[in-house]
Amino acid sequence: MKIKAGIIGATGYAGAELARLLLQRDDVELVWYGSRSYVGQDFASIYRNMAHAAMEPCQDDDMGKLAELADVIFTATPQGFCAAQVTEELLQKTKIIDLSADFRIKDVEIYEQWYKIKHPTPQFLPEAVYGLPEVNREQVKKARLVANPGCYPTCSFLTIYPLVKEGLIDPDTIIIDAKSGTSGAGRGNKTDSLYCEVNESIKAYGVASHRHTPEIEEQLSYAAGKPVTISFTPHLVPMNRGILVTAYASLTESVTAEQVKAVYDSYYQDEYFVRVLEPGMPPQTRWVEGSNFADVGFQLDSRTNRIVMMGAIDNMVKGAAGQAMQNMNLMFGLPEQTGLRQIPVFP
Amino acid sequence: MKIKAGIIGATGYAGAELARLLLQRDDVELVWYGSRSYVGQDFASIYRNMAHAAMEPCQDDDMGKLAELADVIFTATPQGFCAAQVTEELLQKTKIIDLSADFRIKDVEIYEQWYKIKHPTPQFLPEAVYGLPEVNREQVKKARLVANPGCYPTCSFLTIYPLVKEGLIDPDTIIIDAKSGTSGAGRGNKTDSLYCEVNESIKAYGVASHRHTPEIEEQLSYAAGKPVTISFTPHLVPMNRGILVTAYASLTESVTAEQVKAVYDSYYQDEYFVRVLEPGMPPQTRWVEGSNFADVGFQLDSRTNRIVMMGAIDNMVKGAAGQAMQNMNLMFGLPEQTGLRQIPVFP
Amino acid sequence: MKIKAGIIGATGYAGAELARLLLQRDDVELVWYGSRSYVGQDFASIYRNMAHAAMEPCQDDDMGKLAELADVIFTATPQGFCAAQVTEELLQKTKIIDLSADFRIKDVEIYEQWYKIKHPTPQFLPEAVYGLPEVNREQVKKARLVANPGCYPTCSFLTIYPLVKEGLIDPDTIIIDAKSGTSGAGRGNKTDSLYCEVNESIKAYGVASHRHTPEIEEQLSYAAGKPVTISFTPHLVPMNRGILVTAYASLTESVTAEQVKAVYDSYYQDEYFVRVLEPGMPPQTRWVEGSNFADVGFQLDSRTNRIVMMGAIDNMVKGAAGQAMQNMNLMFGLPEQTGLRQIPVFP
Amino acid sequence: MKIKAGIIGATGYAGAELARLLLQRDDVELVWYGSRSYVGQDFASIYRNMAHAAMEPCQDDDMGKLAELADVIFTATPQGFCAAQVTEELLQKTKIIDLSADFRIKDVEIYEQWYKIKHPTPQFLPEAVYGLPEVNREQVKKARLVANPGCYPTCSFLTIYPLVKEGLIDPDTIIIDAKSGTSGAGRGNKTDSLYCEVNESIKAYGVASHRHTPEIEEQLSYAAGKPVTISFTPHLVPMNRGILVTAYASLTESVTAEQVKAVYDSYYQDEYFVRVLEPGMPPQTRWVEGSNFADVGFQLDSRTNRIVMMGAIDNMVKGAAGQAMQNMNLMFGLPEQTGLRQIPVFP
């Protein structure tokens, strides 16, 4: 029997990528293409790549109605939407995987401060599981409500986490310089997202104020066992997909590249979706594009006693839709890689 | 039991794409990564996207040795290589799918004139099947030696063929203006293929002299039942993948858009990989990227009594590796879409 | 004494390019940055490339007021705007160079049919000069009202014109396949202009219906001395700037490449902004980017008795703002190249 | 009387950009297009953007012969070339502006260690002036031999220098994360520079080992009055031109954004080529493309007590050829902006 899945916010880039991944599976039936802007229009007329596979009109965002039909609901919606809809009744009928930030941050004050909105249902925060399978696999399996991590936090955390956890680096010195393809900006009609504005240029944005900062900090704090404050600077890169994280930190002790590699391996050798590179080899977004892989590498710098940690993901897949499906697999007792074994597309 | 496949020329873009597609299958074993330039080097160190899946060193291009191991050999090699290797003995041991032009053109004189090389084994030309499944499906099924079509010819022919066959257009007026992504130029180190030379520019090349011209003409001649001469102009576009064909021809009779659409449908309605668009809707390469689909559309122009026929494919997939695998499926009695149902990746 | 110039529509791409070119001159003073959307905002806050040079706020589009200040007004505005403003009184006070289509087409019925708007001031059509200096130089010098040509027509006409004029090609067989960078789509916030929609894709648009068609036809008709109907298909290319025209026509007589080259030379050898390439050398947009040059080349095809004519311009410069300034130079009795001798920027 | 200039290495990207800038001037005569690879070939056949302006064949790299003809020689050559050619006799005949690293680093041991070559003429190191006019203007005016700064060092130093000099930041905490367009990789035929390898990807390279590191450190050490060691990580970005530097450092005291802005202004308010942005506004490479400007901005981060300093230049202009011409202007007593007032090209 097929898993019945519905997507609220199916016509944004993340929602559409989720549709693409789900439609490629034989064991899932996509029953709802929710899109407030396109209600009644054929989904395939908006995303013609799926013309042969998705023959249904878009529907509204009535999660109550959808909960009657679906075993799992994905919400790829603006901040605040999912939180405003979740009820105990809903969660008794269906599982929810929320791709927004509503349930990612446990501390509601921090959420409200960075997102500038009041959280309508903080009572579900304790139950919500932060859906990074490489860290929270067992909790995800049992979850009714999963907060799918942000794209930058996924890449940043996978890149840094083992070294923080093992105490190899000083968490107070962590600086994350991240670079993202433009799909991360979404499909909204903004001048700053026009082709001619993005092409042939690079810029930082949200410097010292990007909302993924507290999400990264919270997860790193769990790893460090104490509050961690970081510098985080995202950049917009003229490419469609991909996130590259270049992270800097001071070493707490003298280590060799082999030792650091061994630490990464101890965390990731059984993780299908994390590929640890040889010391000194920088990851590149082209090698993960279109896949759920995270490539992680590092370079020691004895001159400065720092380490440069680097990670690359496809922001649409491991950074959003792929990870959501990875979580779905876990929640339904399926092999985690189901539908996610695509080899990265190059060139 | 798995099909054992080998690739000669595995480190070019087309060969690597073939490896990527084959490695994603459970029913195929890739036994040979042939690459003269990289013998002994790990294949995955050259194409890091496949780092988790391809753990073998590159081997030489000894087709004799490979024929002992493989059920099928793909040659993604320069013109003349495959033809110089093929023997009756080889074909009794293994099937060959040649991605070069060696066996595409039946008239050896035309081949030698356009390719400026002597054909070493013209005796196999009659046997070789032109591997366009949408036209030659039954012959492909029985073939030992398949000439995998060129990227431009695949897109051009699928776009134009039904209207030539039905006599709706005057073959003598056909003009094909084609645009290709840069992967079509291969991975050779040429100044003209450097990022800064291709980016932010467009140019025609091989004007009135491109070697895919006689291949398109031969196939169109079969459809027309008489010799056809065309104008063909390829262009280089700053993008990785994709071919767009814009073809012009004069109509032989007065037709409506519905009638033309009906003709296309009659040829392609059962073809999984050809998606006929509604009249007036131009195909776009972004909607086929990463897939084996060909999107075909048209626009009537009553002012000039011409029709504009348009087609889009991914040059790496339907234009090369995907079509080769589609041919392999047919040659081994498998469902044609096996391993090729990927939905196009967007954005 | 400086020429006082004003721009209505200064915050579109063409208007801003005009500002950039004018601001680089010592003999021009830019007195008006008209922009309905940004009234009161600093022009340099919208186009930060000009931050050091343009320190004035945007103003409204009051052409009456501007006419009191300016020796010349450029209108880089939507169709219908300029025509609705022009009066005899205005033209007695100032010169007007209109970058819209309002005065390009002499036949008001054709204008209204293709542009779907009623022309408010057809009485000025006879006076308006089509501002292609290479053809209408003397009339431009005396003009009060210049209709600055469209980007596609400029490139198409310069590419084809000499051969039509000399009767070397049959005008009824002309097919123009044009490719444009994305700046031609303007700065409006449309989904189709977003980075991720344009990048890594190519498509035709406005097939058999683009509004530059009648403009090209009218000019070709003058050259041919009889009505000419053409096929014209524009394409959107993932690059910022540049137009490439690939035009096809049947030859009326047997000619050599040298003869064709001699015809082109006879028209263009004294034209600073037209560079005729050697036979068989295709123009490329990268070689004209950022400049007012038009590169023109051709290839004979004896197999089909056709000629492929090719031209490349920067759509923002020779296709819009540069040509407008070239016209201004002529209208003010200045050397035509003043402010326009920039060498193309590469890479 | 015109300045007679010669370029050794004229067919690399930096050399060609220099040719482009020099050819646009009326007061300079370009007498030598040196290019070992293209001796005898027309320079304009290699860089067709200059087809109308550069009608001479390439010559060899005989600096002795060139010194007889030229008032100034630009060497845009591989490391070690210029140093091997310079003699007292040469410097008595002509001025030299070296775009390679040969004379940038005063400490010959550090040069030899990072560049892995023996310096053939260290005796000229004391005389050579580091050609960053914003810092060393007066010495440049008197110099015979100028070491034109590297692209990354130019951008990094202009971004950081005032705050180091004023002691506002702790030099030991400086981390520079830099991003460059692909023209910085030069025109050599390397697989890694192919269009399909660079496009749609981002990567770090030369991590903790890039040769611009000691150059930046030396200049920062002068500013700090003590040895400075930094982390420097360059990245390759899929665009032609542009460098963005994102630099991090800890503040030494509590400051407001206004105070920091005032410091930048005090250094740069009279510098034509440095545009200081308002606090919190990140520079973007698109706003400097094609110009000699450096845009510099910053963002305070009270949470981490760090400051993020950001700078953007065109690597081909302010990062190479433009700065070389700026130095030439100073060396010949000309206004510094001569030939360099181009407004950045956008889009």
So what's the ipTM on this one? 0.97
Tokens 């200045």: give the residue: C334
| Probe site for chain D from A176, A200, A210 (most D CB atoms < 10 A) | A200
Handedness of CA B327, B333, B335, B341 (dihedral sign): negative
pLDDT for res B137: 98
The residue annotated as part of the active site, out of D58, D82, D151, D155, is D151
- Which chain B residue lies closest to D12 (C-alpha atoms)? B191
Please state, in angstroms and as integers, the Cα–Cα distance from residue B139 to each residue in B128, B162, D61, following that order.
9, 19, 62
Task: Count other Cβ atoms within 10 Å, centred on residue B78.
Answer: 15
Contact C182 A191 (CB under 8 A): no
Tell me whether residues C187 and A183 touch, CB distance under 8 A: no
Residues on chain C touching B246 (C-beta within 8 angstroms): 177, 204, 233, 235
**Pick from B196, B238, B239: which is nearest to D182 by CB?**
B196
Q: Which residues pair with B179 in a beta bridge?
A: B235, B244
The reply to whether C191 touches chain A by the CB within 8 Å rule is: yes
Per CB-CB distance under 8 Å, the chain B contacts of C283 are: 203
Per-residue buried b or exposed e for A213-234, using 16+ beta carbons within 10 Å of the residue's own CB: bbbbbbbbbbbbeeebbbbbbb
Question: What is the rounded average pLDDT for all residues in chain C?
Answer: 97
What whole-number distance in Å separates Cα of residue B324 and Cα of residue B98? 8
Using a CB–CB cutoff of 8 Å, tell me whether B183 touches chain D: yes
Give the amino acid at C69. L
A139 in contact with chain D, both atoms CB, cutoff 8 A: no
DSSP string, A99-154: -SSTTT-S-HHHHHHHH-S--S-GGGTTT-EE--HHHHHHHHHH-SEEEPPPHHHH
* Average pLDDT score over residue span D242-265: 98
Q: How far apart are CA A16 and CA A10, in angstroms?
A: 5
Q: Does an H or E element contain D82, and which?
A: helix D81-85
3-class secondary structure for A21-85? HHHCCCCEEEEEEECHHHCCCEHHHHCHHHCCCCCCECECCCHHHHHHHCCEEEECCCCCHHHHH
Size of interface A-C (CB pairs under 8 A): 54
Return d(Cα D315, Cα C260) in angstroms, integer: 42
Helix count and strand count (H, E) for chain B: 12, 13
Residue type, A33: Y
What's the burial of D336, exposed, middle or buried (CB within 10 Å: 0-12/13-18/19+)?
buried
C288-326 residue pLDDT tens = 999 999 999 999 999 999 999 999 999 999 999 999 999
Tell me the pLDDT tens digit for each residue of B66-104.
999 999 999 999 999 999 999 999 999 999 999 999 999
Q: Is A16 on the interface with C (CB under 8 A)?
A: no
- Neighbouring chains to A with at least 3 Cβ pairs closer than 8 Å: B, C, D
Please report which confidence band the pLDDT of residue C213 belongs to, taking 50, 70 and 90 as the band edges: very high
Q: Does B221 touch chain C (CB under 8 A)?
A: no
pLDDT in tens, B177-232: 999 999 999 999 999 999 999 999 999 999 999 999 999 999 999 999 999 999 99
Average pLDDT over chain D, rounded to an integer? 97
CB of A252 within 8 Å of a chain C CB? The answer is: no
pLDDT, position A334:
98
CA triplet B45, B51, B53: central angle to 5 degrees? Answer: 130
Confidence of residue D55 (pLDDT cuts 50, 70, 90): confident
DSSP state of C307: E
> Is 0.95 surpassed by the pTM of this model?
yes
C273–D contact, CB cutoff 8 A: no
Q: Does D239 contact C at CB distance below 8 Å?
A: no
CB atoms within 10 A of CB B262: 13
Backbone angles phi, psi at B298, to 5 degrees: -160, 165
Count other Cβ atoms within 10 Å, centred on residue A256. 10
Closest CA to D241 of D347, D313, D341: D313
Q: Which strands form B231-236's sheet, in the order they lie side by side?
A: B203-204, B231-236, B175-180, B243-250, B306-313, B294-301, B274-276
User: In this prediction, what percent of chain A has a pLDDT beyond 70?
Assistant: 100
Contact (CB<8Å) C345/D48? no
Q: CA-CA distance, D232 to D207, in Å (whole number)?
A: 7
d(CA B111, CA B122): 10
| Contact call for residues A127 and A144 (beta carbons, < 8 A) | yes
pLDDT tier, D1 (very low <50, low <70, confident <90, very high otherwise) = confident
Q: How many CB pairs under 8 A join C and D?
A: 76
**CB contact at 8 A, C23 and C44:** no
State yes or no: pLDDT of A184 exceeds 90: yes
Separation in Å, CA of D232 to nearest CA in chain A = 10
Local structure of B198: helix, strand or coil: helix
Any A CB within 8 A of D229 CB:
yes
Residue D222 has pLDDT above 90, yes or no: yes
Q: What residue in B sits closest to D184 (Cα-Cα)?
A: B196
In three-state secondary structure terms, B169 is strand
DSSP C104-155: T-S-HHHHHHHH-S--S-GGGTTT-EE--HHHHHHHHHH-SEEEPPPHHHHH
Interface contact C238-B239, CB threshold 8 A:
yes
Asked if D197's CB is within 8 angstroms of A286's CB, the reply is yes
Half-sphere exposure for B46 (CA within 13 Å, toward CB): 26
Question: Phi/psi of residue A75, each to 5°?
Answer: -110, 110
Gyration radius of chain C's alpha carbons: 20
Closest-CA distance of chain A to residue C184, Å:
10
Please, which residues have CB within 8 angstroms of residue C141's CB and are 6 or more apart in sequence?
Answer: C330, C331, C333
pLDDT of residue A84: 97
- CB-CB neighbours of A269 under 10 Å: 10
pLDDT at B47 over 90: yes
Task: Identify the CA nearest to D347 among candidates C32, C237, C186, C155.
Answer: C186
Beta carbons of B195 and D195 less than 8 Å apart: yes
Nearest chain A residue to D174, by CA: A304
User: CB–CB of C287 and D183 under 8 A?
Assistant: no
pLDDT score at C197:
98
User: Which pLDDT value is given to residue C25?
Assistant: 97
One-letter amino acid identity for B56?
E
Residue C34 sits at φ, ψ, to 5 deg, of -80, 130
Catalytically active residues of A are 151
Measured between alpha carbons, how far is D22 from D6 in angstroms, rounded to an integer?
Answer: 10
User: Does the distance separating the beta carbons of B203 and C299 come in below 8 Å?
Assistant: no
Contact C5, C325 (CB under 8 A): no
